[in-house]
Amino acid sequence: MLVIGVDTGGTFTDFVYKKPTRLADRGEEWGVFKVLSTPENPALAVLQGLKKLVGDEQTAADSAGHEKRIVHGSTVATNAILERKGARTALITNKGFEDIIEIGRQNRERLYDLAYRKEPHIVPPHLRIGVGGRIVKTGEEIEPLSHHDLEAAAERLQELGVESVAVCLLFSFNNPSHEIEVGRSLQALGLPVSLSHEILSEFREFERCSTTVINAYVSPKMQKYIGFLMERVGERDTLSIMQSNGGSISAETAMRESVRTILSGPAGGVVGACEIGRMAGYTKLITFDMGGTSTDVSLVDGEMSLTTEAAISGYPLKVPMIHIHTVGAGGGSIAFVDEGGSLRVGPESAGADPGPICYGKGDRITVTDANLFLGRLIPEYFLGGDMHLEVERLKPFFQKMATEAGLGPVELAEGILSVANTAMEKAIRVISVERGFDPREFTLFSFGGAGGMHAAFLARLLNIPRVLIPKDPGILSAIGMLMADVIKDYSQTVMKTEDHCDLGQLSELFSSLERRGRKELEQEGMAKEAVILERYLDMRYQGQSYEIIVPFGEDYVEAFHRLHEKTYGYRNQDKVVEVVNIRLRARGLPAKPKLGRIRKGGDSPPGEALLGQRDVVFDNVEVTTRVFKRERLLAGNRINGPAILVEYSSTIVIPPFAKAEIDDLGNIVLEIE
């Protein structure tokens, strides 16, 4: 079987695949490559890469007859929301509650902006339909569902040309009978229907409704995209999609529950960083993923941090997601001088087309152009020499903007990198300092195509002592997808105080979720012995409006007190503790890549690793800098900065204030002085 990980980005689509080998001592061999993304239809780049891969592998020369296992991270659902290009979606809810999706909470995003106006909601008022019927918080029906209203709603949906329907009725998490009946009545329309008790069986009406609406809004797009891929891969191939929670699911499940794939690509990177960091002996990580369009950062304190309080484009999503913070600063981010004369970078990106100026078609300076202008990017080794960079195009563009900004061209280029680094520094502070973590206790795990050129500078800004850069960092998100478990998350609101429940009662409440988890993982192709069930509780002090996730065990109340004290700085033993939701994580453990160790060497890199020297600008001074080919370095090699390491998927800059050592797994470990 050919095992393939695919990550679609704004500039490149990345591929990692297992190479067949008959040499037992070599272990598993992996290959990587990139193709330019195709923004008009991301699936075209995926298919182009698969075609190239199968053509290059002689053992897989017959594409139709060679079985492939593909795990794919997709940005389709994310882009559908950000660009407001999802399906024409209607909402069916209880009569009188049609506008809850617009009213939301009393929070204002910009408190002091007197001119602030909300953007129109993706479900406009005329597509919100109320039906009679009521279930109360106990799960008791006090008013039957109105079949007359249902028939009228179905007629209206047809008249309005609706493409997808979200159904969210009051207290359906306690009694879903009305929602099930609504879903059944809409089957004749042939429309995809998202029922809130299936998407998110929890209290908080606004968040549950918002999550269900987003699922309905993006699912038709995902169905079309995934369907397009499945029609064009082999009949024996299996396609899985990465979720925002760090696990993969089958393509069929992803088409139904597309809301779970919103942070599909970035989640793969965090999974890969967590696994490789653990292998290298580092469990406290700040992951730094700088790609072509954006930078994603996350904090790993022993394990990945999850949240159920995420939002995208202002819409709350209450499904479990890896806690990832994103800023619009990447290699393709465009630099400009604003109306006040200040130098700015991003969030607009040049993308894959036209791309940076040095790609040959762009005409606006990007972060990649600035790195190339300063000599930190080696044009003849970019993408292993497969892609030509036009250095000569840069000078007139830099001269023009430098004159406009009142700077010299070199000052401008360094200024662009400083502005980008500051934006990324702020992002890391959000997920560390602002959450009570000291960055000095962590290792910065850098990946993404552009990450290696900025990681050391960021570490110095944040006083992080160490940077770890894995092999093939530009492909790590794709590698992480192959390392991911198959994960299904389930939850149920229970609302029980500590004096009205005990360990046995809570264990019984988990039973139905566990049966469902085992069944659905079996449908995902997992053997019974490869399934792990993890129990959690959402808990709070009675009267609080927020919960924290606590692992379920014998001493769960004391565990809550300890975690609350760690998170918020205090505990209140006299306050009643409340269990709000039970939460189950069902994990299937598939076969995963085995990373081999590299050959050992001495302190000095072997002669064949040195490619030459060139002048590179650091702090406005040209410094003679050695250039090494990373693949030729051996475990134990030490390199003092300044130096540049080139490899297929990335370039690593070791500035004068850093020194590097290669570990047994081929990782680069930078010590920041």
With helix as H, strand as E and coil as C, how does 169-185 read?
A: CCCCCCCCHHHHHHHHH
Residue 600: DSSP 8-state: B
Mean pLDDT value of segment 249-261 = 92
Mean pLDDT value of segment 126-152 = 95
Question: In this predicted structure, what is the pLDDT of residue 59?
Answer: 38
Percent of the chain with pLDDT over 70: 96
* Residue given tokens 């499904």 in the structure block: 319
Question: In this predicted structure, what is the pLDDT of residue 255?
Answer: 93
Q: pLDDT tens digits, residue range 222-231?
A: 999 999 999 9
Beta bridge partners of 610: 628
Residue 379: is its pLDDT beyond 70? Answer: yes
The phi and psi torsions of 611 (rounded to 5 degrees) equal -95, -15
Three-state SS at 307: strand
Residue 28 banded pLDDT, cuts 50, 70, 90:
low
Residue 350 banded pLDDT, cuts 50, 70, 90:
confident
The answer to pTM > 0.85 is yes
Q: How far is the C-alpha of 11 from the C-alpha of 34, rounded, in Å?
A: 10
How many Cβ atoms sit within 10 Å of the Cβ of residue 444? 25
Mean pLDDT value of segment 470-486 = 91
Q: How far is the C-alpha of 133 from the C-alpha of 139, rounded, in Å?
A: 13
- How confident is the prediction for the chain on average, in pLDDT? 90
Q: How far is the C-alpha of 446 from the C-alpha of 649, rounded, in Å?
A: 13
Q: How far is the C-alpha of 101 from the C-alpha of 97, rounded, in Å?
A: 9
Q: How far is the C-alpha of 110 from the C-alpha of 92, rounded, in Å?
A: 30
Question: In this predicted structure, what is the pLDDT of residue 326?
Answer: 86
Domains of the chain: 2-80+224-261 (3.30.420), 84-219 (3.40.50), 486-588 (no CATH), 607-672 (no CATH)
**Where on the phi/psi map is residue 619: left (φ > 0), alpha (ψ -120 to 50), or beta?**
left
Mean pLDDT value of segment 56-85 = 71
Mean pLDDT value of segment 63-77 = 77
